[in-house]
Amino acid sequence: MSISTHIKISLAEKPTLTGELVLLRPVEAADVPGLVELVSDPEVGRLTGSHASFNIEALEQWYATRADHDDRLDLAIVERATGGYVGEVVLNEFDVDNLSCSLRIALVGTRAFGRGFGSEAIRLILGHAFETVGLHRVSLEVYDFNPRARHVYEKIGFVHEGTRRQALRWEDAWVDAHDMAILAHEWAKHQGHPDRCG
């Protein structure tokens, strides 16, 4: 047994991160109408493989209590032009010993897709994760029927690490899930790349 001298990091800080198109800020109970739109959208449900149903009280309780947790970071994606909630981006499954966590993101629905919000939101939260928190690895999964999300992750620097075959059953069809991750040095290298988009 060794005594570790490492300083323990956490996700206790709940920052506001400002980009050109969106800003990220801690979720709050007032965002629940937007969250209801998100979880009610059939296409978002399919692309995220979400089988679960919801009730409004549970969603209100969920968003009202996210700031109490130092092992996850739940940020609302707010469109700067309108001030409106357009989705959420989350760091969860925090592993303090291995300096890693998972990332998930969803916009409210097709009205928000393809406008650059997702790419910018992911870059903002990764900047915080690697450069402020000091994480080493951020991972995610993306289903095979979601080429837009996979394109965005690859563009940002996530690397495909493997495929879990037929991990999702969606409307009687089996769907593969791809594991992807980005490491701190890959993020730093990507940030310095002259051809970086956005």
Ligand X SMILES: CC(C)(COP(=O)(O)OP(=O)(O)OC[C@H]1O[C@@H](n2cnc3c(N)ncnc32)[C@H](O)[C@@H]1OP(=O)(O)O)[C@@H](O)C(=O)NCCC(=O)NCCS
Listed ranges 54-62, 68-76, 144-152, 163-171: which one lies at the site for ligand X (CB under 6 A): 144-152
Looking at the Cβ atoms of 47 and 75, the one nearer to ligand X is 47
CA distances from 187 to 120, 125, 177 (A): 14, 12, 23
Least spacing, CB of residue 40 vs ligand X, in Å = 13
160 contacts ligand X (rule: CB under 6 A): no
**Contact with ligand X (CB under 6 A): which of 47, 99, 101, 156?**
47
Three-class SS state of 92: strand
Within positions 118 to 137, which residues make up the interface with ligand X, using CB under 6 A?
118-119
> How far does CA 25 lie from the centroid of its chain?
13
> Token match 């060794």: residue?
2
Looking at the Cβ atoms of 151 and 164, the one nearer to ligand X is 151
147 contacts ligand X (rule: CB under 6 A): yes
35 contacts ligand X (rule: CB under 6 A): no
Q: Give buried/exposed letters for 7-42 (b at 16+ CB in 10 A, else e).
A: eebebeebeebebebbbbbbbeeebbebbebbbebe
> How far does CA 53 lie from the centroid of its chain?
20
Contact residues: ligand X, CB under 6 A: 44, 47-48, 87, 105-107, 113-119, 142, 146-149, 151-152, 155, 197
